[in-house]
Amino acid sequence: MSGTSIFVCLDPRRSDWWQLGALPPATGRMMLIGWKKYPEPVDGGVPEDVASLLARAFTSIGRVTFLSSAAHAATGSGWWPLKRAPGPAELTSTTDPQTLMQTFDDAAHPWSMQGQVLLISAPAEAPPEIDRKQLRALLENEWGDAADALSAPGVIGVVRPGVDGDLAGLLTLTADAERASLAAFERVSRVASFDWSVLTEEAFAERYSG
């Protein structure tokens, strides 16, 4: 058996297992996004084809702003390097899936150690204005509470890596954003010929465990 499958779970409740903060979140709705490759890779981290699919899905929902240590790299069309003083946190905002691929392989903000956060906002708008305190709060365990204040600056969804970076949690702040996210993941999965399914939490855990 070979291939890649993408599976999601809406409204998960097992806070202790996914390491995505308190579930259900106080604001918005949580969606777990999981993946499985057969045969299973021996190395950890997000497989490249999965990272590519996630990047395409997130950028099709909207503009994605994320922590990046490569903000000084040559800028392409559609994204801006943003530096917010004081502190080392640098944000990059993009609608380009290729640029977003960095998020899964940035040593300074390691996805596999849950050191990354992605903010999704309307594609035609400027990147959301958030301060350093808000950004730091989004990296902590109870990040769902901090997400509450992000609607005002135009954030419609927040993505955090789950346990060991082997899954992602997408917190959508509007019902439209949840529908758009689900449709985007289904579309890109089918285009990539990946197996696609929406599962209950128990079935998700079973599939995640392989």
Partner 1 sequence: MAGRPPAHVGAVQGHQPIDAGTSALMTTPAPAAAHAQAADARQTIDIPMSGGIPYAVGQASVIRIPIPGTSGLAIELSPRGWTPKTGSTSTLFFQDVTGRRHLRLDYGPNPRTKTIDYHWNQERVFREFGISDHTPAGTAGRAAYQAARYFKYAGRVLVVAGVVVDAISIVQASKPLRRASQVVAGWAAAWAGCKLVGAGGAALATPTTPLGMAAVGVGGCIIGGIAGYAGGSMLAGEVYDWAEGTFFTPLPEAAAP
User: Which DSSP category does 106 fall into?
Assistant: -
Minimal distance in Å, beta carbon 115 to partner 1? 4
Among 1, 2, 42, 85, binds partner 1 (CB under 8 A): 42
163 binds partner 1 (CB under 8 A): yes
Among 47, 81, 115, 153, binds partner 1 (CB under 8 A): 115
Nearer to partner 1, 62 or 161 (CB): 161
Nearer to partner 1, 19 or 27 (CB): 19
Among 1, 74, 85, 107, binds partner 1 (CB under 8 A): 107
44 binds partner 1 (CB under 8 A): yes
d(CA 68, CA 130): 15
Nearer to partner 1, 43 or 85 (CB): 43
Question: What is the three-state SS of 111-141?
Answer: HHHCCCCEEEECCCCCCCCCCHHHHHHHCCC
101 binds partner 1 (CB under 8 A): no
Minimal distance in Å, beta carbon 198 to partner 1? 19
Q: What is the largest CA-CA distance in the chain?
A: 50
DSSP bridge pairs for 135: none
Could you list the beta-strand ranges (E) of 11-133.
Answer: 29-38, 63-67, 80-83, 90-94, 118-121
Minimal distance in Å, beta carbon 139 to partner 1? 7
Among 39, 43, 74, 124, binds partner 1 (CB under 8 A): 43
Minimal distance in Å, beta carbon 42 to partner 1? 4
140 binds partner 1 (CB under 8 A): yes
Count interface residues toward partner 1 (CB under 8 A). 29
Give Cβ neighbours of residue 138 (< 8 Å, ≥ 6 apart): 117, 119, 146, 147, 158, 160
Per the structure block, which two tokens stand in for 1?
């058996």
Q: Decide: 160 and 114 in contact? Cβ < 8 Å.
A: yes
Residue among 106, 21, 15 at smallest CA distance from 66: 106
Minimal distance in Å, beta carbon 24 to partner 1? 19
In the three-class reduction of DSSP (H, G, I as helix; E, B as strand; rest coil), residue 82 is classed as strand
In the three-class reduction of DSSP (H, G, I as helix; E, B as strand; rest coil), residue 75 is classed as coil
Q: Decide: 171 and 29 in contact? Cβ < 8 Å.
A: yes
By CB under 8 A, name the binding residues for partner 1: 16-19, 41-45, 67, 105, 107-110, 112-115, 139-141, 163-164, 166, 205, 208-210
